Amino acid sequence: MAGPYIVVLGNEKGGTGKSTIAMHLIVSLLKGGATVASIDTDARQGTLTRYIANRTKTAEAHKIVMPVHTPLFCSNNTDTTKARGEDEVQLTKVIENFSSYDYVVIDTPGNNTFLSRMAHSIADTIITPLNDSFIDLDMLIKLESGAIENLRPSVYAEMVWEQKKEKAKRTGGSIDWIVLRNRLGSLFSKNREEMRKILESLAKRVGFRLLSGFCERVIFKELFIKGTTLLDLHETEVAMTLSHVAARQELHELVDALQLPIQKKQQYRERGAAVA
């Protein structure tokens, strides 16, 4: 595999858990033996950047794995063409600096920016967390006349489709687009089942894989403050609860379902170590 494998967390709505999933994925990859860099293209809001800053403070007292992180601000140039050029240069340069890493994980803003669109266009995998609520479905679909058969892609879905075509035209490569039902309720409900049916129907038409993310848990807010993840509980001497165990299982199942090329890289390292 030439260059890093690029994973982009994208959704043009805030509050869907992009940064939480990004941080857990980063730590999972690091603990799996991969080298990982992260980029925050939403540096003005800076949720992932703050998460990692909190983690840096915790790392002073506990031995926890750390990524190499770069926040990027959108250009302030009032000339749109020049601003896009500047954004393209800075993202390209950062990716080149990380060319020797196994993975680059990119967090994007909850709105439409050129920097975000460019990040989507260079992705190998796009993960779109979606709160398991009809309120957030309009980001992904237009449901006309309230009927599943009248589903139409919405603005963000159309943008991802355009970036998939752009990458195919530019490099011949493909993008694995994953929509993640996140902040799931613990109990069965009619709305939850209807959400599943709608998303499964849209997945076939638009071309994404549908996965389940995390259930709604208070623990994620507590982890953010310390910059830690569910995989750091032992190192940070946090007593495990049943909720922690269940949440960690959700994380392991998610990482497995993403089907990122983790095992291939680990096997390559093991062969290299054997030769050495």
CATH number at 59 reads 3.40.50.300
Instruction: State the average pLDDT over residues 5-19.
Output: 91
CB of 123 closer than 8 Å to CB of 8: yes
Residue 266 pLDDT greater than 80, yes or no: no
Residue 213: predicted pLDDT: 87
Phi/psi for 157 (5° steps) reads: -60, -40
Say whether pLDDT at 190 is over 70: yes
Residue from 261, 183, 242, 246 nearest 4 by CA: 261
Q: How far is it, in rounded angstroms, from Cα 274 to Cα 270?
A: 6
3-state secondary structure of 272: helix
* Confidence tier at 186 by pLDDT (50, 70, 90): low
Tens digits of per-residue pLDDT, 45-103? Answer: 899 999 999 999 999 999 999 999 999 999 999 999 999 999 999 999 999 999 999 99
The residue segments making up the domain with residue 106 are 5-275
Q: How many domains does the chain have?
A: 1
% the chain with pLDDT above 70: 88
Determine the pLDDT at residue 274.
Answer: 40
Using the predicted structure, report yes or no on whether residue 147 has a pLDDT greater than 70. Answer: no
Range ranked top by mean pLDDT from 28-42, 124-138, 187-201:
28-42
Q: For residue 105, list its beta bridge partners.
A: 7, 38
